[in-house]
C-alpha cells in the first residue's frame, strides 16, 4: 500500500471513530423516545474519579475473572475468612431463579451492581427497558458486549431517571454495597417512582446481619483494595427496611437463593418535570457519593 493511500485510510478510520464517539454522546444526552424508553444506540461509558470500592471491583483480580468468565474468586476478611464468588453463574445466561426475579419486575428496571450484565441482557431480549450500573469497567464492557445497556457510576452519584424507575434490583449480594444497608435503602427510595418495586437478594442465613471490611482475592492470593461490605439474611433486611420506610410485599426462594420484594410506605413523591427519564444518559455505580470528574465518553470496544 502506498504511503499516500495508507495516510488516507488512516484518516478515514480516525474520522469514523470520532463520528462513533459523537454519536454515543448524542444518544446519551438526547431527549428519550417516550415509547421505547431506553435509548437503543450504543452505551456510553463514563470515566470518573474512583474510591476504594471502585478500585477493588475495577482492578485485578476481579476484572481478570470477568474477562475470563470464571473464577476462583473470593471476598476475604482480615481474619482469613473467604466467601466464594459465583463468577461462572454471573457470566452465564440468566438461570431459573433469575428469570423468576425478572418475571416480577415492573416498568423500567435499574440493576444496581449489574456485574457482567446477565439480567440486563435477559430483560433486553424480552423487550423490557433495563439499565445496569456498576463501578467495574470490565463489568460494564461485558454487559455492553452482551447487548445490554450499562453505565459506570456509583449508585450514590446522580443517575439517569431518578425517581422514575419502576423496579430496582439488588441481587448477587449487592444489598451489601457500601457496608450501610440503611443508607443504601434510603438511596433506592430516591431512585424508584412512588409505586416502585425493590427486589433484594439476601443470604440464606436468617440471623445474619454483619458489616465487614473485605477485599477481592483470587486463588493465588492476589488482593484488591479493602472496602466496606454488608451481608444480610431476610429478617435483618426487613428490620433495616422497616426503619427506612419500606414494607415487604413478597418473599420467596429459588435455586437455593432468597429474595424479598419491597415497596416504600406512604412515599408521595411528586414527579419532577425536570427529572431525567430513565436511560437518558450513561453513568457508573459506586458505593459512596464521590465528586464526579468531567464526563469522558468511551465507545465500547
| pLDDT confidence tier of residue 60, bands split at 50, 70 and 90 | confident
Average pLDDT, stretch 201-211?
96
Non-local (6+) Cβ contacts of 278 within 8 A are 32, 37, 38, 108, 110, 129, 131, 160, 161, 164, 165
Phi-psi category of 130—alpha, beta or left, where left has phi over 0 and alpha has psi -120 to 50?
beta
Give 70-89 pLDDT, tens digit per residue.
Answer: 999 999 998 999 999 999 99
pLDDT at residue 275, rounded to an integer = 37
Q: 198 - beta bridge partners?
A: 168, 262
CB-CB contact of 71 with 88 (8 Å): yes
User: What is the SS3 assignment for 273?
Assistant: coil
Mean pLDDT, residues 109-127 taken together = 98
CA–CA gap between residue 163 and residue 108 (Å, rounded): 11
CB 150, CB 134: distance < 8 Å: yes
Give pairs for 242-250: CB < 8 Å, separation 24+. 243/182, 244/182, 244/185, 244/186, 244/189, 245/189, 246/185, 246/189, 246/198, 249/197, 250/104
pTM greater than the 0.85 cutoff: no
Nearest to 165 by CA among 34, 32, 278: 278
- Grid cell 414527579 — which residue? 271
Distance separating alpha carbons of residues 214 and 195, to the nearest angstrom:
35
Predicted confidence (pLDDT) per residue in 35-58, tens digit: 233 333 333 333 333 355 555 555
Per-residue pLDDT of 229-260, as tens digits, reads: 999 999 999 999 999 999 999 999 999 999 99
Amino acid at each position: 500500500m502506498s504511503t499516500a493511500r495508507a495516510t488516507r485510510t488512516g484518516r478515514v478510520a480516525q474520522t469514523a471513530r470520532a463520528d462513533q464517539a459523537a454519536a454515543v454522546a448524542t444518544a446519551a444526552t438526547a431527549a428519550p423516545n417516550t415509547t421505547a424508553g431506553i435509548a437503543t444506540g450504543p452505551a456510553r461509558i463514563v470515566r470518573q474519579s474512583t474510591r476504594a470500592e471502585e478500585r477493588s471491583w475495577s482492578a485485578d483480580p476481579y476484572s481478570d475473572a470477568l474477562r475470563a468468565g470464571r473464577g476462583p474468586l473470593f471476598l476475604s476478611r482480615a481474619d482469613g475468612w473467604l466467601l466464594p464468588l459465583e463468577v461462572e453463574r454471573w457470566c452465564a445466561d440468566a438461570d431459573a431463579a433469575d428469570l423468576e426475579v425478572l418475571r416480577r419486575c415492573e416498568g423500567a428496571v435499574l440493576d444496581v451492581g449489574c456485574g457482567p450484565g446477565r439480567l440486563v441482557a435477559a430483560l433486553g431480549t424480552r423487550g423490557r427497558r433495563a439499565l445496569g450500573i456498576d463501578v467495574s469497567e470490565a463489568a460494564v464492557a461485558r454487559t455492553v458486549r452482551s447487548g445490554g445497556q450499562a453505565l459506570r457510576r456509583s449508585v450514590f452519584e446522580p443517575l439517569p431517571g431518578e425517581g422514575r424507575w419502576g423496579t430496582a434490583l439488588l441481587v448477587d449480594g449487592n444489598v451489601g454495597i457500601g457496608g450501610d444497608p440503611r443508607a443504601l435503602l434510603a438511596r433506592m427510595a430516591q431512585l424508584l417512582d412512588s409505586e416502585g418495586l425493590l427486589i433484594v437478594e439476601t443470604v440464606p442465613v436468617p440471623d445474619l446481619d454483619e458489616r465487614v471490611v473485605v477485599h477481592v482475592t483470587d486463588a493465588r492470593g492476589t488482593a484488591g483494595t479493602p472496602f466496606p461490605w454488608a451481608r444480610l439474611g431476610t429478617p435483618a433486611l426487613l428490620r433495616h427496611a422497616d426503619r427506612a420506610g419500606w414494607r415487604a410485599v413478597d418473599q420467596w426462594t429459588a435455586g437455593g437463593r432468597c429474595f424479598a420484594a419491597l415497596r416504600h410506605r406512604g412515599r408521595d413523591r411528586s414527579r419532577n418535570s425536570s427529572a431525567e427519564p430513565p436511560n437518558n444518559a450513561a453513568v457508573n455505580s459506586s458505593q459512596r457519593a464521590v465528586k464526579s470528574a468531567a464526563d469522558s465518553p468511551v465507545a465500547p470496544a
